[in-house]
Amino acid sequence: MADTRTTCPYCGVGCGVLASADGTVRGDPEHPANRGRLCSKGTALGETLDQPGRLLHPEVDGKRASWDTALDAVAEGFRKALADHGPQGTALYVSGQLLTEDYYAANKLAKGFLGTGNIDSNSRLCMASAVAGHRRAFGEDLVPGLYEDLELADLVVLVGSNLAWCHPILFQRLQAARAARPAMRLVVIDPRRTASCEGADLHLPIAPGRDVALFNTLLRHLHAQGFRSDAPGLDATLAAADGETGLDPALLATFLDWFAATPRAVTLFSQGANQSSAGTDKANAIINCHLLAGRIGQPGAGPFSITGQPNAMGGREVGALATTLAGHLDWDRPGEATALRDYWDAPNLAAGPGLKAVDLFRAAGEGRIGALWVMATNPAISLPDAGRVREALRRTPCLVASDCTRESDTLDLARIRLPALGWGEKDGTVTNSERVISRQRAFRPAPGEARPDWWAIAQVAARLGWSGPFAWTGPAAIFREHAALTGLARPAPRAFDLSGLSDLTDAEYAALPPVRWPVPRRGTEGGRLTPTARFTPTPYRPPANPTGAAYPLALLTGRLRDQWHTMTRTGPVPRLMAHSPEPTAAIHPADAPDLADGSLARIESPWGEATLRLRHEPGMARGTVFVPMHWTARFAPAARINASVNPAVDPVSGQPELKHTPIRLAPAPMEWHGFLLARRSLGTGLADWTALIPAGPDLWHHEMAGTEPPAEAFARLRALVEEPAAAWVLLEDPATSLHRAALLREGRLLACLFLAPDPAALPPRGWLLSLFPEPAIGSAARRALLAGAPADGSAPSPTICICHGVAASVICASIARGANTLALVGEATRAGTGCGSCRPEIAALLAKTPVPEPA
């Protein structure tokens, strides 16, 4: 059977994927975003298809239900909420995972028929500030540039973007261009020395939240260098362009000079800029500089917002944010709401914007939301002040959650659970960060009773009496309606126009190749945009909640290379878990002199706390702590960082300040640290602190720490995994609290349990995990089990290249044998020759491993 041409569901790059029904996945060589490349997560997509924990049937009040019953219950819940609270007592919280058609349907239900603006997307957490910045500068939410501008530029500035990990394919395109044109420069502006800094020409370790000051400084510098613009608002903007960067003056001067002197400059910004109480100002401060320098919409030049999710852009296009209407229409432009009301025949159309995410859950917590429908996202984990969000979800009388997985903390709290289609099953379109609309196509049958989200929405609408406006036959019909809407005669001109796609036949829609908007007429395609822009004054404001004596450190949250969101998709994939198998908090060693590397530390903020394993990283900016946001109650209940994150938001975009929360660190003293590898999950309640890590087929890795006496813990944990006819190999040194055990039956490893007072005394887990598939472990190897390493062998080391399973030690050995470039390491070990996501890490190893002189 021929491969199905579809798109990757992970990040905003929107790579094309060729997928076969058996789950084999490769990059689509014809897709303009990736030209055949895939990153580590994309490469492992096939492994996410048959996940345990799929939600296969509707559930109501914890019991399996028919779709009819479940949909009736949803309709009843919303009817009651409308009766009790009016339209503002209903809400939808949706996701950049939805396809444009699902998004469109959800938005139409909320704004058009429930009559509420209360539909917000998790994109609010991701790029709402960029949207708001675009609208202030361009009058419309649009990204002027194209990916190829990153290749054409002579200077690329990454602001708050760990592109190497979060958008690996774009980073590889950039690195390939730099390899071809070594004169091209890369500047990284980030409080952390991230993987993206490997090989960068300049890293500006800016303090969290100071980006506005930096770009204000740049604006003044450009003006002083003679740059001028006729765009409105320059004088007021210059007058407001204040703020100190706190950067080393020499580094700063280099950056200012490079930017001023390089016409082809792209400033790419992402969550590090957006997730801030000054996020919108950051976007505008960046755009202001490009505007003054005349560098917008030119080949190799422009401000470039890159989104986190695969279809954040699609959500923005259909208006599935509380602050926008469909098709880039606005409430505050006279006539636009009326035009939409007429088009939809929706007399109840919401009169104004609804509650943005943080406000929405606050309202739910105050009992003001009677019915809330969450689709394809996990707010119980991802929202700031997440403890309170959990309470709000608990308090909502009718909480509906649509998802493809049952394994989500939000699903746990839902009254009604609706099984959604997952990637590979659903059908529709997505828009990537360079405005390219691509089809996501199904190549697998729907499992169980899972159904498309748009269908569930239409079914509920019909039950509420609105069958006509939702009587679509399929996604093609929805797409045509959406495309036609963008061609509405609009009082103000709009760049966003899909009129040329509004009469696609079903067959044409099915075969639709990637196309960049605007498409005002059939057969045309958009390119770079040069919108009319204005300057926006961006006076510097420090983060909403400053650090101080009680909470002296600034917490930043972010992403790991191989994880996605709240791990619902990537968490169960062992290969993806292998890269960073424990929840960690990174800090500059000098900021934690009393907390050892590898010890457990409690992060305390005025909002909550979390306990994570501390890592000393000299690449961290002083005064900051970095924590990945992925961990959930499923995997590490104590490490859910968003419970500690402040709920401050940007006053314009409503985007939460996930990149700056004042915190303090306290030791979390433990009697013992340890791990248990077992053939089944023993849950997350094994010890005072537990992280559960899927490590293979029927193989689970539990990281633990506890406060009970180690010998007691050892006995208790051994009893949990004991099995008939199995026998232990045991090593015990009670005087030093060292306890190690392996359980075997007929040479087959069933479990490994290691405890020690000091986490550094525990061996790496990788080698032990690799033994579980062995059919028979020989006598000689039995004792090696308790060493955690083969006798006389090199100590196991972390896997760097997950595509080819290459460990750091192997890479270092090849470097020591003379492989002194990425290419030579790749030849010698295959590391970095798959998806390439690990190349920055290999580069780091190259930088620190001495290479022998040629003989």
Contact residues toward other proteins (CB under 8 A) are 727-736, 738, 744, 756, 761, 779, 782-784, 786-787, 789, 791-792, 795
Residue with smaller CB distance to other proteins, 546 or 793: 793
Question: 640 with 632: CB under 8 angstroms?
Answer: yes
The answer for residues whose C-beta is within 8 angstroms of residue 2's C-beta and 6 or more apart is none
Residue with smaller CB distance to other proteins, 367 or 734: 734
CA distance 42 to 46: 8
Residue with smaller CB distance to other proteins, 325 or 785: 785
Residue with smaller CB distance to other proteins, 606 or 793: 793
CA distance 791 to 784: 6
CA distance 360 to 372: 10
Residue with smaller CB distance to other proteins, 449 or 671: 671
Residue with smaller CB distance to other proteins, 507 or 791: 791
| Shortest Å distance, C-beta 791 to other proteins | 4
Burial of residue 329, with CB atoms counted within 10 A of its CB: 0-12 exposed, 13-18 middle, 19 or more buried: buried
| Shortest Å distance, C-beta 674 to other proteins | 13
In this structure, what token pair is assigned to residue 373?
């429908």
Residue with smaller CB distance to other proteins, 2 or 791: 791
Looking at residue 727, what DSSP letter applies? E
| Shortest Å distance, C-beta 740 to other proteins | 8
Count other C-beta atoms under 10 Å from residue 333's C-beta: 15
Residue with smaller CB distance to other proteins, 493 or 793: 793
| Shortest Å distance, C-beta 188 to other proteins | 37
| H or E element in which residue 218 lies | helix 211-224
| Shortest Å distance, C-beta 732 to other proteins | 5
Report residue 418: phi and psi, to 5°.
-115, 125
Question: To which residue do tokens 């000079």 refer?
Answer: 257
- What is 108-152 written as a DSSP string? IIIIIII----EEEGGGGTTHHHHHHHHHHHSS------THHHHH
| Shortest Å distance, C-beta 819 to other proteins | 25
Question: 727 with 745: CB under 8 angstroms?
Answer: yes
User: Apex CA 640: angle with CA 189 and CA 837, to 5°?
Assistant: 45
| Shortest Å distance, C-beta 729 to other proteins | 4
CA distance 677 to 659: 34
| Shortest Å distance, C-beta 132 to other proteins | 56
- Using DSSP bridges, classify how beta strands 90-94 and 119-121 pair: parallel, antiparallel or unpaired: parallel
| Shortest Å distance, C-beta 807 to other proteins | 18
Burial of residue 614, with CB atoms counted within 10 A of its CB: 0-12 exposed, 13-18 middle, 19 or more buried: buried
In this structure, what token pair is assigned to residue 84?
């009790």
Report residue 626: phi and psi, to 5°.
-110, 130
Residue with smaller CB distance to other proteins, 467 or 736: 736
Looking at residue 549, what DSSP letter applies? S
Residue with smaller CB distance to other proteins, 341 or 748: 748
Question: 516 with 527: CB under 8 angstroms?
Answer: yes
| Shortest Å distance, C-beta 778 to other proteins | 10
Could you tell me if residue 747 is left (phi over 0), alpha (psi between -120 and 50 degrees) or otherwise beta? left
